[in-house]
Amino acid sequence: MDLLLVEDDADYADTLRSELTALDHRVVVAPTGPAALVEVERDRFDAVILDRMLPHLDGASVVRRLRDNGHRLPVLMLSALGQSDQKIDGLESGADDYVVKPTPAAELDARIKALVRARAWTDDGAETLRAGDITISPGQFRAWRDGRPLDLAKLEFKLLTELARHAGSFLTRAMLLERVWGYDFEPATNIVDAQVRMLRRKLTADGADDPIVTKRGIGYMLRG
Amino acid sequence: MASLRALTAVFLGAFGAATVATGYTTYTATSGAIVRLVDERVEAVSRVLLSEARPGDAATILQGIDAFARRRDSGDIGFELRDARGRRLGGNVIVGRALPIGTFDLREGDGIAGLTAGRALVRDAGGGLRLVTIAETEPIDGLDAARLRIYLIGFGAMVLIVMVGTGAFGLLVRRRIAEVRATAEAIIDGDMARRVPVDPRGGVFAAQAVAFNRMLDRIAALLESVRNVSSDIAHDLRTPLARLHARLTRLAGQASSAEIADELDEALAQCDELMAMFAAILRIAEVEGERRRAAFAAVDLSAIVTEVAEAMVPIATEGDRRLIVEGGGEVPLRGDGQLLSQAAFNLVENALNHTPPGTTVWIGAARAGTRAILSVRDDGPGIAPADRAAALRRFGRLDASRHQPGHGLGLPLIDAVARLHRGTLTLADGAPGLIATLDLPAS
């Protein structure tokens, strides 16, 4: 993917660029907000990774300018500190996601892919989701595999829905904690793994193959 | 002096005694002066009367009495003349008994018509004659009541002014002290922004309040810098850790054998543990920074408990432990839903991690009067009373748990969350097992 990285810390920008390049992205670095606004006009990007703390023009203002200029491309905001008020502020300015530095490149990669994919579909919250032979009706709170109804607990249903929404992309533990559990903290106990194990058991109860792919150190993906 | 109240009592006592003593002295002094004046007059009148007659000349003395009695200014003076055997020879008053020579007080009982109080002087008039001269003090005695009234009003007003003044002064001092105490208590409760109100008109109390507030500013600044040091360290260490994590992840994906992959997984798990420790340090710093209090909203502790229990049931089941939700019904309070979830989460996590398989863990939220209570209890081995304080300390891990995962920051974080909500975290003996209680103000 073509990414614009807006980061004033040259060392951190270098590291992140090489790591993201290793993950098959093309990365352009802009050291300031105004430079970023120029780059966006000159080139086409799939997403922007934007540091919140920039000299002169801060990240939130950059997002506002981008939106004012009619750019709808996904913006992932990076922040040095995970204070909740800053996070709310960042999202209110028009950013699509918000993560605390230092974020592993793999986490950024997963989040950007999810954001770009999310742009592809319209979500009215009640439409039926399909991933392989799995069908989910979020409005009815019901799910089927190969036409056979699945008996899922509330969290299992939410987890399956979130995975199905992003079928074909990996979702990290942090992303799932935010979206399924609604937690802004990462518990020491791995509740995501445990919940996935429970869900997997129910999905494969009648000997069907496992539709959930695990990627070590990254997260989970539902096959599309 | 032991206390302000004792000091005030001693002061008022001393003031009262001085007032009474002054009043008494003035009263007796003026009374004595009146008696002396009357005595002087009686003495002078009788001396003049006797000087106009030869000693023993009763007839001349009686004429002198008559002449004196006819004078306009003599109404308050009376005379009686008696001979050597005590027989009454004459005079303008009748004294009921014969008096020896000297000066006497007269009272109503002395039977002198029209006299209730007076002084009498008995003189030798020569030839065995005795002249009794009396004067009334009655009209002057009537002044006593007026005098007493003046004393009561005068001194009473003074006493009253002093008492009201002392009371007002005490009230003022007490109010200033109460302001300082309220501030100190707010600080203890974790409201580091609280300051003593300063009287804009200045004065010693204002100066003291300013000094007190400057001390609090200094403490707050020191706390802030200590907090920043720990969070800066935690933050700066996260960057290299994140790189290490990324590299290990990449290596794990390319592992040439299952053994190496397992080793790398173990290394990744340790890396995660370190990240979790720094996340906990940063989280405690964030909670203690108190900025989150601005975002407090209405939350239902019961709903939080139910959600946390749902999230933890798979973990409990896999570890062969039971997790049961107790109670129900709304438990409303103003707080930070995320932090309360994390606190509840950590409590259940502790209960599951530090008990043997087969243990049952109960979690519940309940309202007790004005308090919202979140409790997590288990029927496991519990913590010895002596170890409970250590468990609440940062990095304070008990020997029994050193081989288990965790970083010893779970309970301090819960404690910080409790303090942010102006509540408390307590660990108690559940007989058997442990009860951890978050006691928070309900709304």
Residue B139: predicted pLDDT? 58
* A94 contacts A63 by C-beta, under 8 angstroms: yes
With vertex at residue B350, the alpha carbon angle to CA B348 and CA B351, rounded to the nearest 5 degrees, is 65
Burial class (CB in 10 A: 0-12, 13-18, 19+), A48: buried
Residue B1: predicted pLDDT? 45
Length of chain B: 443
Q: Which of B233, B345, B414 to mutate to test the interface with A (most CBs of A within 10 A)?
A: B345
What CATH class is the domain B293-441? alpha beta
What CATH class is the domain A129-222? mainly alpha
Residues of chain B with pLDDT under 70: 1-2, 72, 74, 138-144, 235, 394-407
* B283 contacts B413 by C-beta, under 8 angstroms: yes
Angle between helices B301-318 and A191-203 (to 10 degrees): 70
For B339, how many CA atoms within 13 A lie in the half-sphere containing its CB?
31
For A30, how many CA atoms within 13 A lie in the half-sphere containing its CB?
26
Residue A58: predicted pLDDT? 86
From-to residues of CATH 1.10.10.10 in chain A:
129-222
Residue B287: predicted pLDDT? 86
**Which CATH number is B4-143's, of 1.10.10, 3.30.450, 1.20.120, 3.30.70?**
3.30.450
Residues of B in Cβ contact (< 8 Å) with A198: 314
Which residue in the set A84, A104, A191 is minimally distant from B245, CB to CB?
A104
Q: pLDDT for B86-96, tens place per residue?
A: 888 888 888 87
* B298 contacts B426 by C-beta, under 8 angstroms: no
Output DSSP code: residue B333: E
Of B48, B100, B56, the residue nearest B77 (C-alpha): B48
3-state DSSP assignment of residue B326: strand
Does A188 lie at the interface with B, CB-CB under 8 angstroms? Answer: yes
Q: What's the topology of domain B204-288?
A: Helix Hairpins (1.10.287)
Other residues' Cβ atoms within 10 Å of the Cβ of residue B168: 10
Q: Where are the domains of chain B?
A: 4-143, 204-288, 293-441
* A172 contacts A104 by C-beta, under 8 angstroms: no
Using only the alpha carbons of chain A, give its radius of gyration: 19
* Beta-ladder partners of B366: B373
Which residue in the set B248, B310, B338 is minimally distant from A155, CB to CB?
B310
Q: Which of B239, B254, B270 to mutate to test the interface with A (most CBs of A within 10 A)?
A: B239
CATH superfamily ID and name for A2-120: Response regulator (3.40.50.2300)
Residues of B in Cβ contact (< 8 Å) with A102: 238-239, 241-243
Residues of chain A with pLDDT under 50: none
CB B249 to CB A217 under 8 A? yes
Q: What does the alpha-carbon distance between residue B132 and residue B127 come to, in Å, rounded to a whole number?
A: 15
* Beta-ladder partners of B292: none
Of B116, B113, B74, the residue nearest B96 (C-alpha): B113
CB A216 to CB B249 under 8 A? yes
Two tokens at B40? 């002087």
User: How many contacts does A have with B, using Cβ atoms within 8 A?
Assistant: 95
Of B112, B129, B120, B121, the residue nearest B60 (C-alpha): B129
Two tokens at B367? 């309202």
